[in-house]
Chain A
Amino acid sequence: MAETPETADQYFERYREIIPDYPAFLEALSQPLPLYFRLNTLKVRDPSPVVEGLSRQGFRVEPVPRVPWFFRVEPREFSLGNTEEYYLGLIYPMTLSSSLPVYALEPRPGELILDLCAAPGSKTTQIAQHTEDQAVIVANDRRLDRITALVANLRRLGIACVITTVYRGEQYPLEVSFDKVLVDAPCSGEGRYRKGYEGELLFQKEGRTNLSGIQKGLIVRAYDLLKPGGILVYSTCTINPEENEAVVDYLLRKRQAELLDWEAPLPSHPGLTEWAGRPFHPHLVKAKRFYAHEIEAVGFFVAKLRRVA
């Protein structure tokens, strides 16, 4: 079984052509991931007591420009999970870019929203917060143990607008149709990778699962669960086009969906219209790629689509 281990530099070489300022990207990989939290505005409006409380415990806390309610924290090696602010549900630690799919989703009070791969609930709780606990959110995950963690987060943050279910996303019952569906898909997680600190690359996991196949199953079912005119957001935290553009392109060929523009609070690059000699639908430029070194957070891919028929 022993194979020559590929170094991270060798691994990412395959993306040299698509990653902007590639040397800066490699440089960022040697730093530990920056630490962020979201303020739970369902419980506190004024961040100052939280910021002061965390400062007393040795954290330096700065608001993130352009992304409301998000704060950056140093030292990033510390854990926020043991703080009083965490225990009281005043904060939710999550990477900055994990907020992006919810910006694309634009949830509104009263909407019926499905979060198909929801655990542990960063985005579910953010949707609840954006809608003042007034959207109707169904948070699903195929794993009961992960839904248990999500329910603990809902209780900690005091959220009352969520129903939880445990289904395989590909087989989600079609009896209920939704205004919006979020597919924050299981992925290879390349965007999280930091040398020696965080994440594993696919070659280290030996990549036995067919992630792209699972993602295609999830995105098609998500589309089928939408009301006509409904909104679908597909996101991953990976760079790999096979798990991103290729998955969206698959949906565009199977169903009547259209890609939409959306406004992101962080710098992005257009989705690819070609990879490994294979062309994708030209509208894929409307999808957005976010790179770790440009946003100082986990790399992300986000596409927003509408069900046409």
Chain B
Amino acid sequence: MKGKNRKKLDPQATWPRLIPEEEREEILRYLENRFGIPPEIFNSYEFLATAKNYWLFVRTPHLRTLEKLRIQTAGLLFLRKVSGYLKPTTATLQRFGVYARRGILDLDRYTLDRLRLEKKIPFTCSLEPGYVILRCEGKIWGCGLYLPEKLISYLP
């Protein structure tokens, strides 16, 4: 059991790179268009990137200095690039999903439990296909993917 739910850390991890302004704008636009999350929410955060992932890290004038340290992780895993699409992580949605105004799927307890158990269930709703925020009884659970007639869970 030990470590089963834990991602292995990479002992060779290197510092993620700071991304150019256009790339940041693109991410902010996606979060606003898809979920209605206002860009200002992230004003005090920097977006960093590794090969397939974006990381959220507090904005600081000390970033260059800190790069002298050999790190394991920097910040919160924010979004992943999945076959050309941006996918928000469950951690991000649990933290910042409260600011969302759309792209939210309210599930009853029974459907949530079934989704968690089966990972993929037949489902129809009026939302545009794409990543959704899973919410149940007022609590945000994380990220799902809605495709015509099915719902996929990305909950850990």
Contact = CB atoms under 8 A, between A and B. Distances in A.
A176 B58 contact: no
A144 B12 CA distance: 12
Nearest to A157: B95
A168 B127 CA distance: 51
A152 B5 contact: yes
Contact of A43 (B5, B69, B94): B94
A165 B76 contact: no
Interface stretch (B18-26, B30-38, B60-68, B146-154): B60-68
B76 A154 contact: yes
B57 A160 contact: yes
Interface residues of A toward B: which range? Answer: 35 or more
Contact of A147 (B60, B65, B72): B72
B60 A136 contact: yes
Contacts, number: 100
B84 to A, nearest CB: 25
Given A155-B91, A158-B91, A88 B139 contact: yes
Nearest to B91: A155
Given A155-B91, A165-B70, A148 B57 contact: no
B73 interface: yes
Interface of B: 3, 5-9, 11, 44-45, 56-58, 60, 62, 65-66, 68-78, 91-92, 94-96, 138-141
Given A112-B60, A134-B58, 9 more contacts: A133-B58, A134-B44, A145-B3, A148-B3, A151-B73, A160-B78, A160-B95, A161-B57, A166-B72
